């Protein structure tokens, strides 16, 4: 609980946001309390003038610490680790810090767009396509960037057969392979202790599991053991069980099962 007189810490996110999970896991691991500002993406909360004044990119998460705004999830993670007491989530060893930074960069540059494409192409499209043709066109038109608009149209209309989704599956397959290979050398991704690299990768592996895609790491014992340890951490239940939605979980699992054979065929060609 934030005590009166303490600097105000606020985190803006929506419950299922991958990057929001990264920031929330970091807060939980550090034992830092904050005011949770939970947004509704589908209601347009990211596009309100008040939110755009905080984050002109119209994405989550956004951290506000004593009136000062910090954006970009990986930057937020590092900021939380440096600004607050609690267990250090980055090693003091320069090489391990560099490895952690590399994982954070890959998560932002490669894994996030890949997971977004796969999530939309497998699951979210089922929700989006329930709109009328006019509503659907308005939905696309509300995406200001022409490239992102074309990508979203592709994944929604073509599903798992969209080039965006097939490429995304390949990227995520490489992610789990690289993670398993790294974990052969130690219990965590950037040193002997849990850290920011592990927090950054957790939402990606969790989303694959939510879609029933655990088969992607069949025969990868190091990743499997790491994933079991991650789920046993208090921070995991604190974050991933904060907004229970059994119906959504069931729908995600079914959507993943519906495309499983197609996904396996696609990956066999990568």
Domains for the chain: give ranges and CATH numbers.
9-83 (3.40.30.10), 94-268 (1.20.1050.10)
Residue 6, classified by CB atoms within 10 Å of its CB into exposed (0-12), middle (13-18) or buried (19+), is exposed
CA-based nearest residue to 89, from 27, 35, 33 = 27
Strand (E) or helix (H) holding 239: helix 234-240
pTM: 0.94
pLDDT in tens, the chain (270 residues): 334 445 599 999 999 999 999 999 999 999 999 999 999 998 989 989 999 999 999 999 999 999 999 999 999 999 999 999 999 999 999 999 999 999 999 999 999 999 999 999 999 999 999 999 999 999 899 887 899 899 999 999 999 999 999 999 999 999 999 999 999 999 999 999 999 999 999 999 999 999 999 999 999 999 999 999 999 999 999 999 999 999 999 999 999 999 999 999 999 986
The one-character DSSP state at 5 is T
The one-character DSSP state at 124 is I
The one-character DSSP state at 188 is B
- Non-local CB neighbours of 200 within 8 Å, separated by 6+ positions: 22, 74, 77, 103, 104, 107
Polymer length of the chain: 270
């Amino acid at each position: 609980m934030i005590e009166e007189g303490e600097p105000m810490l606020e985190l803006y996110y929506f419950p299922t946001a991958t990057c929001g999970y990264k920031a929330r896991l970091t807060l939980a691991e550090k034992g830092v309390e904050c005011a949770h500002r939970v947004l509704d993406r589908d209601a347009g909360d990211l596009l309100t003038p008040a939110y755009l004044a905080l984050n002109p990119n119209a994405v989550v998460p956004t951290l506000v610490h004593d009136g000062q705004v910090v954006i970009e999830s990986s930057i937020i993670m590092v900021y939380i680790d440096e600004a607050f007491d609690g267990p250090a989530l980055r090693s003091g060893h320069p090489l391990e810090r560099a490895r952690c930074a590399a994982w954070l960069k890959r998560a932002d540059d490669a894994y996030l767009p890949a997971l977004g494409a796969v999530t939309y192409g497998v699951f979210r499209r089922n929700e989006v396509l329930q709109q009328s043709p006019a509503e659907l066109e308005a939905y696309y038109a509300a995406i200001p960037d022409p490239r992102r608009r074309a990508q979203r149209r592709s994944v929604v209309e073509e599903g798992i057969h969209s080039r965006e989704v097939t490429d995304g599956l390949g990227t995520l397959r490489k992610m789990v392979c690289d993670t398993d290979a790294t974990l052969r050398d130690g219990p965590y991704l950037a040193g002997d202790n849990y850290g920011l690299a592990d927090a950054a990768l957790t939402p990606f592996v969790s989303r694959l599991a939510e879609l029933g895609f655990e088969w992607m790491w069949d025969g990868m014992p190091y990743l499997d053991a790491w994933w079991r340890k991650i789920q046993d951490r208090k921070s995991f239940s604190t974050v991933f069980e904060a907004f229970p939605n059994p119906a959504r979980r069931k729908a995600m699992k079914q959507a993943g099962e519906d495309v499983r054979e197609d996904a396996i065929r696609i990956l066999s060609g990568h």
